Structure 1
């Protein structure tokens, strides 16, 4: 349904900044609900444009409505679509001095990345069905799987992407894999899903750190457990660029439970880093008395030299 200026309800809502109405329209269009709605009855389309080829995303970028731009991106509209004079939504946001919109569009996130980060399962399914490529990287070098693995939602999207042949060992610009990010955020469900698809437990980023280093530094007990189970204690000896083991990183941050986990898994209590510091030195420097007590008691129990 269009008015005399070729506006559809979607285009008009985008230009006027009516985010609630637009969100409702997007839901109707995207999920194909057959309500007795004029929008559906008249076959309204997400990719509708004005006669000058301006899309809803162009209009929202020009009007400065960040919620609408976010909604349209999440629903799969192409941020690089060209409108009048070949201008993209980013061109219009810059011309109209919309810094929030410019930043959002400059993120380099394609629709699959956005939907994955937000945990929008149905949108991810639709995008994958429409041949969205799970291996495409954004300006950070991250794939949709990177964003899904570090998101604050459940692991459904991770499972969907892995089923679509997303690479569990893809690396970003810092050589971090999705498992690195899941470990950093303490997302055990994500980590388990990745591990079940044979993600490399001992992958190293540009600093030489493994997922276990990050899980230990974050005090993420459940992730540490998941990472340690099949490693036969080898992962506890991995050193990063500063020759720190996961036990060093746990001690530095004062994570006593993780320190005990690592010791029980065979971590070397007297391993020294590039400064010749042991985990006990690191714990003492940070004033982490619980970790110090665990290390001292463990050393006495195993008759291990500590100083």
Structure 2
């Protein structure tokens, strides 16, 4: 009735969304039919460049997707239907798990995933744990899409690891996904899982895909560094359980920090204990001259104050006079009694050490 009275069919709201956009969300086929009968523009775009086809695909209205695709072919057959972020209706159907919509879109343009945003529909499917649409895409596109890369060099395996999507990881493994593919920052799917505390994904990547624990990113961080840096205790312990190489346990990043420095700073007591048990070096210093013990300080100034106080402490009593807890604490802080080091031994701190406090004379009779 409104259309017959002269209502503007393609009038948009302040976000550029027309009546056809709204009908696409509600799935009202009669409304859509009436609008198209009055020449509504099927490829009209809102303020983000999204067409009614995007909305119908996102909401799972397969009948409307079919109607729109037919109308689009007669309106502008060369329009790629890509929004201003580079996403196609196929991205949205894959992300939301609408298999029937995705199949229609694939029939219409089987290589639409090559257009627009390189974060492909397969990335979208696995990051939202939509394994059905992921499988459809792989069957339609073949192996090429499995190891496709987005603008930051991340593969669908990175996306599945980020989402802790084990089923997606299994699917990608069956189709020869590259376990150790590194993105532009040098991070593999295992490192993505470690940094985000995705323990299930990390476990699958380690045990089923034989992911490489020794890979370092552009800042020389290993997966263990990254897990510790974000306080992901379970993930760090899982990685440690598969780490036998002392060199990897004591690996330093570009700031000369070992995993022990980072775990100590983040208060990961169980990880610190496990690292010490595995032989982590307690006297190693980072670029600020801090041992793992001093790294526990909330900031550099406090760490330097702590080092200064420790350097002026009175001589320690004999080893057998120190309570076991106190001695262990001092030893873990990198300070032990004279009797705890060989004759002629010297403190690892020197006046030449950058940003550290000289502690010569700390050990006296």
Cα–Cα, structure 1 residues 10 and 106, in superposed 2: closer, same or farther, change >3 Å?
Answer: closer
The normalised TM-score by structure 2 is: 0.60
Pairwise CA RMSD: 4.1
**TM-fit CA distance, 1:222:** 0.9
Cα–Cα, structure 1 residues 179 and 17, in superposed 2: closer, same or farther, change >3 Å?
Answer: same
CA offset digits 1:2-59 (Å, max 9, x no partner): x76999x999xx8547946863335xxxxxxxxxxxx59xx9599x4645xx42452x
Contact 1:15-1:56 at 8 Å conserved across structures: no
CA–CA distance in 2 between the matches of 1:15 and 1:134? 25
Could you say which structure has the higher helix fraction? 1
Number of the residue aligned with 1:120: 98
Cα–Cα, structure 1 residues 249 and 20, in superposed 2: closer, same or farther, change >3 Å?
Answer: same
Pair 1:255 & 2:239 matched: no
- Pick one of 53, 60, 72 that aligns with 2:56: 72
Larger Rg, first or second structure (1 or 2): 2
- Pick one of 238, 245, 249 that aligns with 2:215: 238
Gaps of 5+ in 1: 27-38, 91-103
Number of the residue aligned with 2:325: none
CA–CA distance in 2 between the matches of 1:194 and 1:155? 10
CA offset digits 1:145-204 (Å, max 9, x no partner): 1111212x4311111111112511001111111111111222222122111211101001
Pair 1:161 & 2:137 matched: yes
CA–CA distance in 2 between the matches of 1:249 and 1:197? 28
Contact 2:20-2:42 at 8 Å conserved across structures: no
**TM-fit CA distance, 1:107:** 2.1
Contact 2:131-2:167 at 8 Å conserved across structures: yes
CA–CA distance in 1 between the matches of 2:24 and 2:252? 60
**TM-fit CA distance, 1:285:** 2.4
The normalised TM-score by structure 1 is: 0.70
Contact 1:269-1:278 at 8 Å conserved across structures: yes
Pair 1:292 & 2:278 matched: no
Report how many aligned residue pairs link the two structures. 259
Gaps of 5+ in 2: 12-16, 284-365
Number of the residue aligned with 1:187: 165
Contact 1:116-1:144 at 8 Å conserved across structures: yes
Q: Higher relative contact order by CA 8 Å / sep ≥ 6: 1 or 2? A: 1
- Pick one of 21, 25, 29 that aligns with 2:28: 25
CA–CA distance in 1 between the matches of 2:274 and 2:37? 65
Cα–Cα, structure 1 residues 159 and 73, in superposed 2: closer, same or farther, change >3 Å?
Answer: closer
Number of the residue aligned with 1:55: 41
